[in-house]
Structure 1
């Protein structure tokens, strides 16, 4: 008689293996760089087999980099707010909190500036600029922005300022412990310049804003209507 629980255990093991490879790649890409990390390095550090690695990432290292881009750069934790400019601040603060604690997100930022990124594993900047443009256009519709503000140009500036603050902080400090405080000040200065003055006292620029939102997201009970997660590629069977 077959064991109905076995396929689910195999599926979860496959999901765990894939995530372990991504997390391991994040650490190696941060310390050794994309070009300095080989598939062999990933397999050894992730404690997996060559067969299991290529079942999840048939394109090798480039597929891992692509997965890091798609899996880590998400809008998780962002909540609808009464003031749209608060949402603009919130997503940047959430990502600042995450990049201070997640190697994979640090790797995604580093990879996004690789010269071959747009033609290989992609870069998140066009999507983030488009997302912020939509947020700022809605903020304008609600009367939250000063008249001179161009939504698309401002979205470019937000992305550039955020990346610059994070990269410079990491370069000068050699750690990410000050990133959230610096990103908080960045948004306070930037929003002060573009928001209508009466709105400013209502906005929250606190350093722990991103941490609180993302922690609440992680601790929220699972929605029972959500489908079971499925691994990328075929379900693994047998020892790796």
Structure 2
């Protein structure tokens, strides 16, 4: 019985996160109420409060999920520049197909805006990029004179701006193309000419993007 209750509790928790993601994706943090979450999740307010004490807790859970795309990086035997290229395309794919990732990045941007800004999510992704680009530089794949932390900060800022612009202009239909453009222009600047053909600005082993979900 205990296992059954745990399984039911987890199903409810996931339904709440799905409902919250739908609400946050549509209306943002300030425009979403817990009544909206309950409506989209199909649960009671009691069930919601059992799992999440506040709207802020729900938002934090979704923002944490936003960065799960990079959680397996430490397990990669030889992380490098292509790893970062692929991560940006994986994030683009998630933004086009996964409402929880879309909600997470919207919340990251809102929480990182001018009112009570929180740099933690950005710092986390910058650190992930740096951890991949540092060995790439040591192997000669990135010019030795470049500041890898500055490059990582630039990449995170550039991707954030690109995905917002893509969302506004095309509902992110052109996001993979815009990310490819980013790398096509950037790679000749940061990679020694003799190594440029090793890297694929379109990403590698990226799943095909189905039409975006609502």
TM-score normalised to the size of structure 2? 0.86
| Contact 1:96-1:210 within 8 A present in 2 as well | no
Counterpart among 11, 15, 21 of residue 20 in structure 1: 15
Say whether residues 1:184 and 2:180 are aligned partners.
Answer: yes
- 1:88 Cα shift? 1.4
Is the partner of 2:129 in helix, strand or coil?
A: helix
Q: State the match for 2:134 in structure 1.
A: 137
- Counting only pairs closer than 5 Å after superposition, residues 194-233 of structure 1 correspond to structure 2 as 194-206=190-202, 209-211=205-207
- 1:200 Cα shift? 1.8
Structure 1 gaps, min length 5: 1-5, 215-240
Q: State the match for 1:168 in structure 2.
A: 165
| Alpha-carbon distance in structure 1 between the residues aligned to 2:85 and 2:77 | 11
More helix by share: 2
Deviations 1:163-183 (A, max 9, x none): 11100010111x122111211
Is the partner of 2:97 in helix, strand or coil?
A: coil
Is the partner of 1:211 in helix, strand or coil?
A: coil
- 1:118 Cα shift? 4.2
Counterpart among 81, 84, 107 of residue 80 in structure 2: 84
Deviations 1:84-132 (A, max 9, x none): 111111111111111111111111111112234645xx74111111111
Structure 2 gaps, min length 5: 210-214
Is the partner of 1:44 in helix, strand or coil?
A: helix
Residues 41/135 of structure 1: CA separation in 2 closer, same or farther (3 Å cut): same
| Alpha-carbon distance in structure 1 between the residues aligned to 2:169 and 2:129 | 28
- Counting only pairs closer than 5 Å after superposition, residues 61-72 of structure 1 correspond to structure 2 as 61-72=55-66
Q: State the match for 1:149 in structure 2.
A: 146
| Alpha-carbon distance in structure 2 between the residues aligned to 1:72 and 1:203 | 26
Q: CA RMSD in A?
A: 2.2
| Contact 1:180-1:207 within 8 A present in 2 as well | no
| Contact 2:82-2:199 within 8 A present in 1 as well | yes
| Contact 1:133-1:155 within 8 A present in 2 as well | yes
- Any runs of at least 4 consecutive aligned residues in structure 1 with deviations exceeding 6 A, and if so which? none
Say whether residues 1:108 and 2:100 are aligned partners.
Answer: no
